[in-house]
A and B are shown apart, each in its own frame.
Chain A
Amino acid sequence: MIIDWYTVIFQIINFLVLVFLLRYFLYGPIIRAMDERERMIVEREQQAESSIREAAAEAESYRSRSETLRKNEDLTMEKARVAADEEKSKLLNAARKEVEQARKRWEDAFEREKESFIVELRLRIGRQACAVARRCLSDLADADLEEIIRNRFVDRLKALPEGEQQKLASALKKAEYKASVSAAFDFPPAAVKDLATMINKLIDADETKLEVRYINNPELVCGLELAAGGHRVAWNIDHYLADVEEQILKGLEQNGNDTEKEEGAGSD
């Protein structure tokens, strides 16, 4: 017989056992592994998609942010320009003020310098003029300048108006007949005595009472000054020197104006 039923039954059992074994060892694990992989791939795809979406959203947000920044740029630049202009004008004003102050200081200093120069010049001119006059008088007329000045001062005292003479007398009285005579040159005691005698005559006072003291004052340059009890009688070359000073100042101003005009023409 071709079909052996004993073997058939055995083979059916064998086949069912194989089905069971393969189901347990082959299909189950393989299908689980495949499903797991499929699940992971799907998960990864979803993650990738969500990452792409997030990246796109992020890119969009950056784009809009950069757009806003671009829009704000002009505004910010305008503000910065205005602020810079304000700052510039502020700094310029401060600089101008500083320059003005410096200029003022310089002008003050220049003015002081000028004044001291004028004073010095005046003194020198006075002294020089006196020296020249003294020498001329001595050489040409055999006369003493100081003596002439003293005589002239006495003449002036004599020629004082009545009111002035009384003021001098009351001032001497107030100073207890103590007077001082100042001069830039030497005043010999005899001359001082002569002057005291002449003043006594002028005020009709007791000769013994009046006391005249000589004070050397180089600033007087050329001339005399009698002082008693706050009252002064002076005879000097101040107003001549004032004329000279005025002339010099005029000359200086004229020079300054000419220089400015030349500079202005040069800069044009």
Chain B
Amino acid sequence: MSISPDQIILFQQGWFTINATIAFTWLLIIILSLGSWLITRRLSSEGTLTRWQNLLEVLISGIKGQIREVSRQEPGPYLPFVGTLFIFIAISNILAIVPGYIPPTSSLSTTAALAICVFVAVPVFGIAQRGILSYLKQYIQPTFFMLPFNLIGEISRTLALAVRLYGNMMSGTIIVAILLTITPIVFPVVMQALGLLTGLIQAYIFAILAMVYIASASKAHQELEKKGER
């Protein structure tokens, strides 16, 4: 039983290695990009909509609504990043139902990569919204002595983000594997179904938390702006 898809090596040439995590991620990228292109090349703005266009519009509207609710800001700038996080994790987890497929999210390397992306995105969006000085100033709030705690908080929440997703995904896979050895009939199917639900919830939690962090980094600026207006 392999614990991580990182250890499944599909191709190796010197230092260049293609493991299952990377390969399945590429597969996902191809499926998502091709699917999006196929659906969006014939969009209609009036009359009847195709079922796929309708589905995508519902999905995008839902994501935009969630971003708006969490950040209290226009969702435009955050949509590609947060939306891709949700769609990537959700599809990656849902496809776990396909036999032979190992979700890339069950690899700590993938979840760590996503968490690092969020870790970087928080200051990027924060600086873009507030300016570099204003952003950096929040680390010495309320006093300079709080700087280490703020930094630890920043890093620990990134770590928590990565480990939470990884733990959930990996546990799902491992539970199914263990149950298969104990009760090979019926019960693993139930667990698989439960795994689909867990996967969607995790995608939602990851994307929402990422948005919360980004929003908290850019919110102070808006509060200052409001004060200035008053």
Contacts and interface: CB of A to CB of B under 8 A. Distances in A.
Given A11-B113, A12-B113, A25-B33, A33 B45 contact: yes
A37 interface: yes
A11 B112 CA distance: 9
A7 B113 CA distance: 8
Contacts of A19: 80-81, 84
A55 B32 CA distance: 50
B11 interface: no
Interface string A28-46: 0111111011001000000
A148 interface: no
Contacts of A32: 43
Given A16-B117, A27-B79, A33 B53 contact: yes
B26 interface: yes
A2 B112 CA distance: 11
B156 interface: no
Q: Interface centre among B32, B45, B53, by most A CB within 10 Å?
A: B45
Given A29-B40, A29-B43, A10 B22 contact: yes
A5 B108 CA distance: 10
A29 B39 CA distance: 10
Interface stretch (B56-64, B94-102, B171-179, B183-191): B56-64
Contact of B33 (A5, A6, A7, A22): A22
B83 interface: yes
Contacts of B61: 34
A226 B75 CA distance: 148
A106 interface: no
A6 B17 contact: yes
A23 interface: yes
A8 interface: yes
Nearest to A41: B46
Interface string B3-25: 11010000000000101011001
**Binding site of A, secondary structure by majority: helix, strand, loop or mixed?**
helix
Contacts of A14: 22, 25-26, 29, 113
A21 B88 contact: no
A5 B109 CA distance: 7
A69 B172 CA distance: 84
A26 B22 CA distance: 22
Among A7, A16, A30, which residue has the most Cβ atoms of chain B within 10 A? A7
Contact of B36 (A2, A4, A26): A26
B209 interface: no
A37 to B, nearest CB: 5
B208 to A, nearest CB: 18
Nearest to B44: A33
A242 interface: no
A153 to B, nearest CB: 132
B116 interface: yes
Contacts of B40: 25-26, 29-30, 33
Contacts of B43: 29-30, 32-33
A62 interface: no
Contacts of A21: 29, 32-33, 36
Interface string B25-56: 11011001100110010011110000001001
B195 interface: no
A18 B88 contact: yes
B81 A26 contact: no
Nearest to A44: B46
6 contacts: A2-B108, A4-B19, A8-B110, A15-B113, A18-B33, A33-B57
Q: Which 7 A-B pairs have the closest CB atoms?
A: A11-B113, A7-B109, A29-B40, A25-B36, A26-B36, A36-B45, A33-B43
Interface of A: 2-12, 14-19, 21-23, 25-27, 29-34, 36-37, 40
